């Protein structure tokens, strides 16, 4: 897992949230199920990304065909920088997206920056890990869980914007 800003903060706090548990095959199934549950519970937030501004700036062509379930760390890094430069996401959300990935060396550098992974599942797994490790209510979780949720919502909104050119709608009817 990433050893950027988040990893340094967790290490300084004495937290070990990125340590694998159990047999790899069993763990993968359990993690996938928990991540899917987090994604279902999270829902969608159409306000996480200003797709109206993106539409006005004619940015749809940059995200046409974007699929957060199959994206490389390099692609995600470029997207996060692009969105941050335009003021569409916060620097911290951009940092989370920039440091997302599944394989790092001991210095926190991506081993396979062009290998695709499921970014939605990655962020949902981070939320699930924090919740499973009884870190709820700690300063770390109070700050990180909403940021991971925001990153998921940004990716969902980008996928919607890239495929239709429209933002996610909010049902205001009672």
Q: Where are the domains of the chain?
A: 5-9+28-164
Question: Could you give the maximum distance between any two Cα atoms of the chain, in Å?
Answer: 52
CA distance readout (Å), 76 to 59, 123, 163, 174: 16, 13, 17, 37
pLDDT band at 172; cut points 50, 70, 90? very low
Q: What is the mean pLDDT of residues 87-92?
A: 93
* Of residues 166 and 111, more confidently modeled: 111
Distance in angstroms (rounded) separating the CA atoms of residues 55 and 84: 16
Distance in angstroms (rounded) separating the CA atoms of residues 43 and 168: 12
Q: What is the mean pLDDT of residues 126-140?
A: 78
Q: Quick: pLDDT tens for 69-79.
A: 999 999 999 99
Q: What is the mean pLDDT of residues 152-172?
A: 78
Q: Which of 10-19, 34-43, 119-128: highest mean pLDDT?
A: 119-128
pLDDT score of 54 more than 80: yes
């Amino acid at each position: 897992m990433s050893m950027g800003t988040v990893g340094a903060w967790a290490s300084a706090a004495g937290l070990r949230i990125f340590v694998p548990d159990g047999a790899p095959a069993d763990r993968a199934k359990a993690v996938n199920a928990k991540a899917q549950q987090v994604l279902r519970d999270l829902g969608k937030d159409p306000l996480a990304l200003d797709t109206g501004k993106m539409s006005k700036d004619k940015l749809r062509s940059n995200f046409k065909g974007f699929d957060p379930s199959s994206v490389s760390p390099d692609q995600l890094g470029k997207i996060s920088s692009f969105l941050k430069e335009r003021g569409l996401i916060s620097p911290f959300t951009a940092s989370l997206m920039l440091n997302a990935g599944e394989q790092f060396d001991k210095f926190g550098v991506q081993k396979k920056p062009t290998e695709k992974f499921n970014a939605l599942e990655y962020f949902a797994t981070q939320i699930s890990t924090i919740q499973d490790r009884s870190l709820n209510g700690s300063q770390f979780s109070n700050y990180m869980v909403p940021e991971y949720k925001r990153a998921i919502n940004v990716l969902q909104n980008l996928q919607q914007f890239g495929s239709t050119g429209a933002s996610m709608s909010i049902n205001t009817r009672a």
